[in-house]
Chains A and B, each alone.
Chain A
């Protein structure tokens, strides 16, 4: 087996993460850990002083020790050092004579000192905690980045084995507790260990026997407890794996929810979820039992020592082997011992927890045959075109299970050559395409470009000079523009437009995602402006341009940012009306006129006469809008609408009362639900006139009328008089709009661009008449025609590129996604374009059109010529290629020019029909 093709023998050394968490932390944060330790040490003296001071205050000024006489003084802050007699006859050198203070003075001085120490302590604590937190987060950022970097370098086959949601859980959730630990990783054991050691030494000095006793019990704690924890470690690991598996399954559930619904397997999934959660519960329960047992044992051992001190120490004292003062001192010192020991044990517990987590994650991310970082090195310079042919030599590919997918295939693809690969599904062409794209590794044989094995070329070459488009498409959430230009983003080529280097948080050496990454040159453009030309070209090639223009028409623009387009839209609006009038079709669109009621629009559209911005005038809460109610009341329209609503409700109830709720006619009943009919019936029965009706009933009846369109519903409820009054209310609404509601509605104005409405609504500024057959198609067709005529197609296309494709690109159809992936493969102007059943979702006619244009482009009709290797799902399209390769059962069974092949090879003739 020849591994050379798979990117060199040394790939395996991509290697593991640091073996242990402690080592990882030490390697990456040594200076910081030492610094924090120093700060802690420096903070200790003030800490101990502040513990000592209260005793001095109580004993000194308060209890009067040293103040036995009424005019006694004490010296405070005297600084003196002992020196040899040769320097000073008195034996002490006084650096600062200190203050002479009386009892009250001493009390306040010491109290003030205490306050000062408290403040200093607090500041130390503040600094240490912040520093630790920062250190932890910084390490966490580094670790997460390293994990993501590893994901980017995983060999492709790895992704068949791991679930996306498991990886994301590991990167985000599982390493999270590490952050809290990292700051304490070294400081805590040093600090607590030091405390414990001091107390221990003190006890030993007082009494070797008692000291030995205490040491023995501590030794038992340190010997027994880790043993008890072994099972805890195993459980911790299990807990993590089961939690991760659960996250993975939930992720799969979401992605495969359609299969659950169409097969009624939701209860099976519930059962599985329940079983998993029970398992997690059991593990956790066992963990708790053991953890708290260990805690209990710990506490018991800690309490055992004082018992022994009292019993044994007391016995010694009675025997006269230990004086009472010593015993009291030992017991006093012992009070300081258990809490650092306990905390030390807690720290150790935490260490174990996070080490398990780290080991688990490190294991998952230590994958063999990871891509070496050099293959993904950043290359900012343009990569020269590939002039050499692709040579496939004795290529064999096996899948995970060992089945042969390709067997000793030898082929050559010359630059500029257009090759069709045909064969039944699974006959091997798809696998060859995936190998050429580097998505699959050869099991044997070689694939070279010129003389260099494909696997040894950096991705800067393969990712720019080769293009690949398959049938499976996944687009990350973002705009259409992002999805298209994604293939051009290899390196940050220009600094971000707002070059605020100071505000940029990115470290030197890190790459700034806000920079302009688009490689215009490789798309054959010089900048953003003419990149649009190339974009239009490739979108045209895959017949996607009309779709994007359609999306643009349904998109919104900011007229302040694009005043020229907004002005052109207004012009277009007038021209559309002129055209409709000229062709005698002015009845097709009823335009919005501030002075007139638009019969084709709903009643509420006529009332607001604008696009709601924000929640104030949104349809859901409209009937509750106080200002609107006020306007309706002032103009008396509310009474008219109330009567209209009553009539409407009466008619609807009369029509629908006897129908079962699942009757298809209810689909047409847009005003109310089938369940609401009895409610309205009851309401109509108890309702008096407008004046006596309850506010809620009034509101409900008025709300009923809001969706009414006379030509659509044809109930004859709207007469000229009412329409005139509604227009009057509209005017009132516009003129009296209070300050706070100013921005919440964007009025229709024949002379202005409406920033809250779509481009198409802006062009139309009206409604297509109901009941005119094919009216909407006719009007949209005319709008598209006018856009071309006005030369606005590129501007609208540009708006369409801002369309958000949704999660996974799901707001586009499968066909649109497949076209998009082909378009962007061509956008980067590759030397070799590899297509793997790229347009399988299209109808045969659409496929033929696109493949023909693609072949023309490959021949150089629109730019530099390129080689196209195309695995076709429809073999009938193969005849236009330079060469056809026929696959059968993983082998090449025939190849040659299509005409010749049609005569000589029966297998091709059969495929191509």
Chain B
């Protein structure tokens, strides 16, 4: 796949839809194409994060480790971005990502990603939207879990 095809792919993603093509081309040039085989680990929870990945093709599962037992919390598909939280908040990786199918990604280094957000408010807004969406989802899941716990805590009649 050539640089210009990658640009086309990126333009279709909500995150980069509003970025002008020459900038996208530059981003692609400055990033690295990385391919993962099915089952290969993309990110590992707890490790330091130095890059975010835009999924170009394939899908990956996101796991969170709870007391030694990984729980699958989400699945990421093409056009999504993963690993951006560790870069934005300077924290270790918050989850483990494992490729489900052969996975084609664009690896964007930390500095490049931060610069992109600085220069393109559209990208920043998209990142916020994505993060906010996750918070909403998590909130919903949390209340569901709470309800279930309350329900399970009461003695069965």
Contacts and interface: CB of A to CB of B under 8 A. Distances in A.
Given A655-B25, A656-B26, A714-B6, A771 B34 contact: yes
A507 to B, nearest CB: 61
Interface in A761-791: 770-774
A654 B22 contact: yes
B32 interface: yes
Given A665-B115, A714-B2, A773 B25 contact: no
B112 interface: yes
A668 B30 contact: yes
A716 interface: yes
Interface in B6-48: 6, 22, 25-26, 28-30, 32-37, 40, 42
Contacts of B29: 655, 665, 668, 713
A665 B112 contact: yes
A773 B3 contact: no
A408 to B, nearest CB: 49
A41 B36 CA distance: 92
A774 B40 contact: yes
A341 to B, nearest CB: 79
Given A714-B3, A773-B40, A665 B30 contact: yes
B3 A716 contact: yes
B35 A773 contact: yes
A665 B32 CA distance: 12
Contacts of B40: 773-774
Interface string B92-117: 00000000000000000101100100
A663 interface: yes
Interface in A645-670: 654-656, 659, 663-665, 667-668
B69 interface: no
Given A664-B112, A665-B112, A714-B2, A773 B34 contact: yes
Contacts of B32: 770-771
A329 interface: no
B150 interface: no
B136 interface: no
B3 A665 contact: no
Contacts of A667: 30, 111
A773 B51 CA distance: 13
A715 interface: yes
Given A771-B33, A771-B35, A655 B22 contact: yes
B1 interface: yes
B35 A715 contact: no
Contacts of B1: 714
A779 to B, nearest CB: 14
Contact of B111 (A655, A664, A770, A773): A664
B36 A773 contact: yes
Given A655-B26, A663-B115, A664-B115, A770 B33 contact: yes
Contacts of A665: 26, 29-30, 112, 115
Contacts of B112: 664-665
A264 B6 CA distance: 45
Given A668-B30, A774-B40, A715 B22 contact: no
B48 to A, nearest CB: 15
A667 B29 CA distance: 11
A773 B109 CA distance: 15
Contacts of B28: 714
A663 B27 CA distance: 12
A670 to B, nearest CB: 11
Contacts of B35: 771-773
Interface in A682-731: 711, 713-716
A778 to B, nearest CB: 10
A663 B25 CA distance: 15
Interface of B: 1-4, 6, 22, 25-26, 28-30, 32-37, 40, 42, 109, 111-112, 115
Given A665-B30, A667-B30, A714-B3, 18 more contacts: A655-B29, A659-B26, A664-B111, A665-B26, A665-B29, A667-B111, A668-B29, A668-B30, A713-B29, A714-B1, A714-B33, A715-B2, A770-B33, A771-B32, A771-B33, A772-B34, A773-B34, A773-B40
9 contacts: A655-B22, A655-B29, A663-B115, A714-B6, A716-B2, A716-B4, A771-B32, A773-B34, A773-B40
